[in-house]
Every structure is written in structure tokens, then in C-alpha cells.
Amino acid sequence: MTQPVNPPARLLMGPGPIDADPRVLRALSTALVGQYDPWMTATMTETQELYRQVFGTRNDATVLVDGTSRAGIEAALVSLLAPGDRVLVPVFGRFGHLLAEIATRAGAEVHTIETEWGQVFPPSVIEDAVRRVRPKVLAVVQGDTSTTMNQPLDELGAICERHGVLLYSDATASIGGNPLETDAWGIDVVSAGLQKCLGGPSGSAPITLSPRAVAVLDGRRSIEAGIREADDVVSDDPIRSNYLDLAMILDYWGPRRLNHHTEAASMLYAANECARILLEEGREAVIERHATAGRAMLAGVEALGLRVFGDVAHKMHNVVAVEIPDDVVGDEVRGAMLEDHGIEIGTSFGPLHGRVWRIGTMGYNARKDTVVRTLAALEHCLRRAGHVVPQGAGVDAALDVHAAADVHAAADVHAAADVHAPGDVHTGSTAPVGAPA
């Protein structure tokens, strides 16, 4: 008989998954409860509210899809796009191709625009394409880990609004580590996963839908035979998937709580805890932590004399693509990182396979010690592979970035303290004596 799973000690510094926060691991081992237990439905409702805050939205339709982030992408596309509907996908890496592929399988008429890997699209280029294609949906990845690029989304909502287009974004790799404002930016649908900056395991896909997107689903809503009541609607153009039918998933999470799948309770617990951890620290503080760790890793690899791939001004905070020096074999160095130092870094796909390593600083692992440990190990692996690197330069550069961030943060605290000094307590109150507290 086999033994219980007993993984080796690893520090996961690739493009995700990363080490889950220990709090999330603990949440996973919580006892199960029936899916219609009042406690369970209350926990589902609470988790919806937590994810509204994570997504920066007031969308009622904010739920989890029970599958990996890819399930969330497919749920969005197969539910929004009826066969023959036009969709525009700006492709700047592997995951843009994935959106196009999933939309094609959903029977949509798929139009793509492409840019070189390592670049993002100026909004004007996307607007030109929207004007030309006149799609029902603009589907765009926010952060594409294959190239590390972070597509600016803040102007796309207004473009879509002008042209009557629904905007969908896959924020799996970016959410939590980079700004994302679902409502303020006018994004109709955003899907995500836990295994990147949210510090959880793969297997649950948070998703949010605007009322406008829900209205599109309403036109295709079906209730399955076996639980259908006499007056329930049955669309003659149902969504092509049952499992990923967001209208049904919303009915399951909504007030009718119509039976669909059996909620994956353990993954719900994990998703709940991921959101709580992020919101306790604060959305802006978490993004700032990712920004600092990302700057430190970037400074570190550059100080080691390595070149960074792509338009660094537009890279995600949480991952960097490092060009593999000509005098080493990429997979050998990566193997030494894993075997000798217990650290996983990533390779890449397609045109970048064998050309770059991808090093992540995300979620629980967006920390000073993990950055420093990774850079120290990389220095040694490069040195032993015969590539000359300046001793200590990577570690020093990273520590300098973190020290500067600490000074900056301390200055912020000091400035805040000046404004609200202890002596100021109650001073600003304008309430008359005797007014209700």
C-alpha cells in the first residue's frame, strides 16, 4: 500500500501555483457541512461579499465556479457567447490564445488582434479593432503569465460602453497583486483563481458579473428537467454547457438556491480564507507588498547581470521573465534550483520556451525573505553552471529595494501620525454635548 501524500519541502517561486498561505491550508481541513445547511448557505453568502471586495465591485452576481481558473474562463465565455456571436480577443501571450480557443469551441465567431509577446496593447488599438469587428464581447486577459505582461484595462470599459460591447477579463494571474477595479473600470465580467496572488490552491474560480452581463444570461436561462417546476422557463437556445452555465450557477448561489452541482465545500473554505487574508491586510497594502517584492526581484536579477524580457513598464508586479544567458542550459539551472535549493522557478511556453525563466513573487510568497533566498540560490546555481555573476549583487539590490520601501512606509506612518496625533483625539468633533454617540 502507498503512503500518505508527503511532499518534499519546496518554495514555489514560479508563475503559480505558489505556496498556499498556512491559514488557507488549515481552512481546507475544516469539517464538511451539507450544502443546504443554514450555516453553509450563510457561509456561501459571506464568501460572495468577501469577493465583491476583492474584485472591487457591488455586483450581486459574484460567486465561485467549482473548478480551476480555466473553468471560470470557460464559464464566462460559454455563458456570454451564443453560437455565432462575435468576440474580439486581443492576444499578447498564451492565455489570449486560450480565450480565443475556448470561444471557438463555444461556437463563437472569434476575431483576434495580436501583438508581439512582451508587449501590451494601447487602448486605441483595441478601440480600432472594436470599431472594425463590432463584437458582442471583448475578451482580454489582464495579466498573462506566459509573457508577464499586465494589459491596462482602465480605459477599456469606457471603450466598450461607447460601442455597446460587453467587457470580460481573465484576472487569474493579476488579481490581488495589481490594481483591478471591476466597477470603476466598467468591466462586466471578471474571473480569477486562487493559486496566484490570492495564496490558495488551484480549484476554485471566483467570478463576478455586472447586471448587464446577467441580463445576457437571462435570455438563455434554463432549469433542468428533474428539478424544473411547471412554470419554469426552458430556453430554446440554452447555454452549451450545463456544468459551466453561469445562469444555473447563479440560481444555485441565489435566493432560489436551485440544486446544480454539490458545492465543493473544502475549496469554498479555502476561497473564503484567501479573501479574508487579503482584506485583513487591505487591498492596497497587498498590491503594494507585491509591487515591492516585484521591484526587489527585478532589481536583483538585473544586478546579477541578467536581462529581463518584455516591456518592464507594463509587467505584472508578481512575476518577471528573465532571459536565460547563452552560456547556460536553462533547464539545468532550473533543475539545480529545485534539487539543490528546494526552489521552483518556471519555464515558459511557445516562443519563450527555453528562452526565459519566469520567477514569481506572489501571494504568501511576496515577501523579502523569499526574494532574497531565491536570488541567493540563483547566484549559486548560475556560478556553478559556469556563468560569471557578481557576488552578492542580487541579494544586495533586493534588500536595498525593501529597505527603501520600509523607509517610505515608515514616512507614511509618520505623516499619518502628524495628521491624527494622539492629542487630536476628539478635537475635531463637532457634535454638541449630549448628542447621541
Minimal distance, residue 221 CB to a second copy, in Å: 13
Is 43 an interacting residue with respect to a second copy (CB under 8 A)?
yes
The four Cα atoms 318, 322, 328, 329 give a dihedral, to 10 degrees, of 60
Smaller CB distance to a second copy: residue 97 or 402? 97
Angle between helix 265-281 and 283-303 (nearest 10) = 80
Task: Please write down the long-range contacts of 98-101, taking CB distance under 8 Å and 24 or more positions apart.
Answer: 98/70, 98/73, 99/73, 99/139, 99/140, 99/141, 99/170
- Read off the C-alpha cell for 340: 539543490
Is 207 an interacting residue with respect to a second copy (CB under 8 A)?
no
Which listed range, 133-141, 259-267, 320-328, 375-383, lies at the site for a second copy (CB under 8 A)?
Answer: 259-267
Minimal distance, residue 404 CB to a second copy, in Å: 30
Which residues 220-239 are close enough to bind a second copy by CB under 8 A? 224-227, 238-239
Report in angstroms the alpha-carbon separations of 287 from 276, 294, 318: 15, 10, 9
What is the widest separation between alpha-carbon atoms in the chain?
A: 78
If one counts every other C-beta atom within 10 angstroms of the C-beta of residue 211, the result is 11
Minimal distance, residue 47 CB to a second copy, in Å: 9
Smaller CB distance to a second copy: residue 57 or 195? 195
CA–chain centroid gap for 128, Å, is 27
Site string for a second copy, 64-93 (x = CB under 8 A): --xxxxxx-xx---x--------------x
Smaller CB distance to a second copy: residue 344 or 379? 344
Contact pick of 86, 163, 212, 240 for a second copy (by CB under 8 A): 240
| Total of residues contacting a second copy (CB under 8 A) | 92
Answer whether 147's CB lies under 8 Å from 351's CB. no
Going by C-alpha positions, the residue among 207, 266, 311, 357 that lies closest to residue 27 is: 266
Contact pick of 41, 86, 105, 355 for a second copy (by CB under 8 A): 105
Provide the 3-class DSSP secondary structure of residue 61: strand
Which residues 332-371 are close enough to bind a second copy by CB under 8 A? 338, 344, 349-350
Is 1 an interacting residue with respect to a second copy (CB under 8 A)?
yes
Which listed range, 24-32, 127-135, 178-186, 320-328, lies at the site for a second copy (CB under 8 A)?
Answer: 24-32
Answer whether 252's CB lies under 8 Å from 260's CB. yes
Is 31 an interacting residue with respect to a second copy (CB under 8 A)?
yes
What are the backbone angles phi and psi of residue 7, rounded to the nearest 5°? Answer: -70, 155
Site string for a second copy, 266-305 (x = CB under 8 A): xx-xx-xx--x--xx-------------------------
Is 180 an interacting residue with respect to a second copy (CB under 8 A)?
no
Minimal distance, residue 270 CB to a second copy, in Å: 7
